[in-house]
């Protein structure tokens, strides 16, 4: 069955960097668009970024543009999110999700990894 | 502030029918399909309705979706206690070139 397992979250100081990973299994990873979505404590869902199946096309939310970089490694069946210049408002649970068919259609989600930005 | 507007809360008693609205604009709901997600307390979101009114396998037919113009709705009939969760609408926005989520609706089963 489809599994998405995030890792790499933790406590980081404002201005710092962190790299999240998402290990995918149970499906042909290279066939699917993938996204990162986050949820601040007690708040709603916010889409962060997506990457096309080939990795040639990426999009970012305005709130992270220029600071976050999404990438993928099909040989390792892994999705990444490199986060830099982190701010307190980036504190959230970060989910990776598989896109199915159309943008915004996330048919499988990971369990999430918590990123806390605090001094 | 979400561009897709949902009521922050909704409630109903067991067996009742409740609806949750999602209001957008021409650049999102008006021109792209709407998807709905259910997030049970302490868990990751789960796809509930896709492409406006389609149910993934395993989702009970008590859940249904519809879209008209720049608005969409999620209906839950025969409300059950296990339906108590947060519900989010989502879809692509052509102007923002990104995915939008509604602010979420917390459903309480009284």
CA-based R_g, chain B, Å = 13
Question: Which tokens sit at B52?
Answer: 């406006």
Q: What is the pLDDT of residues B49-86, one digit of tens each?
A: 999 999 999 999 999 999 999 999 999 999 999 999 99
Query: How far apart (Å, rounded) are the C-alpha atoms in residues A97 and B48?
Result: 14
pLDDT digits (tens, 9 = 90+) for A5-23: 999 999 999 999 999 999 9
Query: With contacts defined as CB-CB under 8 Å, which chain B residues touch A95?
Result: 44-45
Q: Which residues pair with B73 in a beta bridge?
A: B21, B66
Residue of A nearest to B57 (CA): A107
* Closest chain B CA to residue A107: B47
CA distances from A78 to A3, A18, A22, A75, A92 (A): 11, 16, 5, 8, 21
Q: How far apart are CA B10 and CA B104, in angstroms?
A: 10
Which residue ranges in chain A fall short of pLDDT 50? none
CA distance A77 to A64: 24
């Amino acid at each position: 069955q489809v599994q998405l397992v995030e890792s790499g979250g933790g406590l980081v100081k404002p201005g710092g960097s962190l790299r999240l990973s998402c290990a995918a299994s149970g499906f042909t990873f290279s066939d699917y668009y993938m996204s990162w979505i986050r949820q601040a404590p007690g708040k709603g869902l916010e889409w962060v970024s997506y990457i096309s199946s080939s990795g040639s096309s990426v999009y970012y939310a305005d709130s992270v543009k220029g600071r976050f970089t999404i990438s993928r490694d099909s040989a390792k069946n892994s999705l990444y999110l490199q986060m830099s210049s982190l701010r307190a408002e980036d504190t959230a649970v970060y989910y990776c999700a598989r896109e199915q068919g159309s943008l915004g259609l996330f048919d499988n989600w990971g369990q999430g990894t918590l990123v806390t930005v605090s001094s | 502030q979400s561009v897709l507007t949902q009521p922050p809360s909704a409630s109903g008693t067991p067996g009742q029918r409740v609806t949750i609205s999602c209001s957008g604009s021409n650049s999102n709901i008006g021109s792209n399909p709407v998807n709905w997600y259910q997030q049970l307390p302490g868990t990751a979101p789960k796809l509930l309705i896709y492409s406006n009114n389609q149910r993934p396998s395993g989702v009970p037919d008590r859940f249904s979706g519809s879209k008209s113009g720049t608005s969409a709705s999620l209906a839950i009939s025969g409300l059950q206690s296990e339906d108590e969760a947060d519900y989010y609408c989502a879809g692509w926005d052509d102007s923002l070139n990104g995915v939008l989520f509604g602010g979420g609706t917390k459903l309480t089963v009284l």
